[in-house]
Amino acid sequence: MTGSGGSIPAPVLPVLYEDNHLLAVVKPPGILSQADDTGEADMVTLLKDDLKERYNKPGNVYVGLVHRLDRPVGGAMLFAKTSKAASRLSESVRSRNFDKTYLAVVHGVPSALSGRLRHFLRKDAARNIVTVHDKPVPDAKEAILEYSVVEKHGPYSLIAVKLLTGRSHQIRAQMAAIGCPLVYDRKYGAPPVQGEQDIALWSISIGVAHPVTKEWLTIVAQPPASEPWNRFDEQHFTRALHTFDRQGGMG
């Protein structure tokens, strides 16, 4: 990882990987992926400001948004530091050569311990919520994911998820649709839990071919040591990382 040592200030966000082309960091839950009309903090602006300060760069700094995480979601997030890298990474996303594995802690246990979910999601922008449908309906988009139960602990299950489509609130809505809402996710039907925090959804890894060297990169961000993640351990998280192969299927 570059950009450390000497008199260069420490990064404002935990850096998972950095070179001249890429920057991967841990996105905190509650931060927007990119700016909107609220004027609230967003990852792109935070990283631009951070790079300008750390490397004492005058003028504009390029940070390309390659993929998004919903605001309540934390974990590994990858950005481009050049327009060339952004273009190539965006093509990787479009061609589904961009692997993302998520961890979720859900209420209950799915009836099938692993499987593929296919629904059609229609977004209600006014309420910022999506409705789940088994068949195509007007204005709905197809949503497909694969999941596998990694471990059970009391009333909760740790689930590894691989997205095959990238829809707003997809994991939250689809897991709720099979009767296993994410812990703390009251918007999608989770029961109230004492000491509620951010919804239990975390981007644990990103896999992609480097846009310049073509070397396959796997970038990992462990979930926080707080409820409900602390009910599980590093062995469970490692097992989750190996649930899926690089083609997006179950390993």
User: Is residue 70 flagged as an active site residue?
Assistant: yes
CA 151 to chain centre: 20
Query: Model confidence over 56-107: pLDDT tens digits?
Result: 888 889 999 999 998 999 999 999 999 999 999 999 988 888 999 999 999 9
Tokens 């300060």 belong to which residue? 53
Q: Integer distance in angstroms from the first to the last C-alpha of the chain?
A: 29
Give the per-residue pLDDT at 96.
84
Give the per-residue pLDDT at 10.
60
**CA torsion through residues 245, 69, 144, 141, sign:** negative
Q: pLDDT confidence of 9, banded at 50, 70, 90?
A: low
Percentages helix, strand, coil for the chain, rounded to the nearest 5?
Answer: 20, 35, 50
Residue ranges covered by each domain of the chain: 15-241
Query: Model confidence over 217-233: pLDDT tens digits?
Result: 999 999 999 999 999 99
Give the Cα separation of 106 and 178 in Å (integer): 11
In the beta sheet, which residues pair with residue 77?
25
Give the Cα separation of 217 and 136 in Å (integer): 36
Query: Model confidence over 26-55: pLDDT tens digits?
Result: 999 999 999 888 888 899 999 999 999 999
Using alpha carbons only, give the angle 115, 117, 120 rounded to the nearest 5 degrees.
175
Catalytic, out of 70, 139, 185, 233? 70
Give the per-residue pLDDT at 35.
87
Backbone dihedral region for residue 39 (phi beyond 0: left; psi -120 to 50: alpha; all else: beta): left
Instruction: Determine the 3-state secondary structure of 71 from DSSP.
Output: coil
CATH class of residue range 15-241: alpha beta
Check pLDDT > 70 for residue 251.
Answer: no
Name the H helices within 114-230. Answer: 170-177
